[in-house]
Amino acid sequence: MTGTGDAPSSHELHPVAGARFVCERVEGAELVYRVAVYAAGGHTYVSELRWDEAGHASATPPCADAWVQAELLKLARVLKHSQQARLTRWRGP
């Protein structure tokens, strides 16, 4: 990032190990988050988190990487409780 207001490139968001999770709440009555996961190795996964009537989270589409999917569902518990507008977390392998 140059500090001049330019957005960071996707390359700058990918960690050397693990993954960076960026969750942004979609405005509306229903609790929904758009998620971008920037994984080591340059992989990016895009999904939406939603909760069913029983309170169970699901990611649509599910992440192809099983570790990323499991970590995302762990973060879903935090998001359901806090319902914050934005959450960014790094998780190591």
49 and 76 Cβ atoms separated by less than 8 Å = yes
Burial class from Cβ neighbours inside 10 Å (0-12, 13-18, 19+) for residue 35 reads buried
Question: Radius of gyration of the chain from Cα atoms?
Answer: 14
Amino acid at 85: A
- Listed residue (60, 82, 84, 83) closest to 73, CA to CA: 60
Predicted confidence (pLDDT) per residue in 6-49, tens digit:
444 555 677 788 999 999 999 987 899 999 999 998 999 999 99
pTM of the model: 0.81
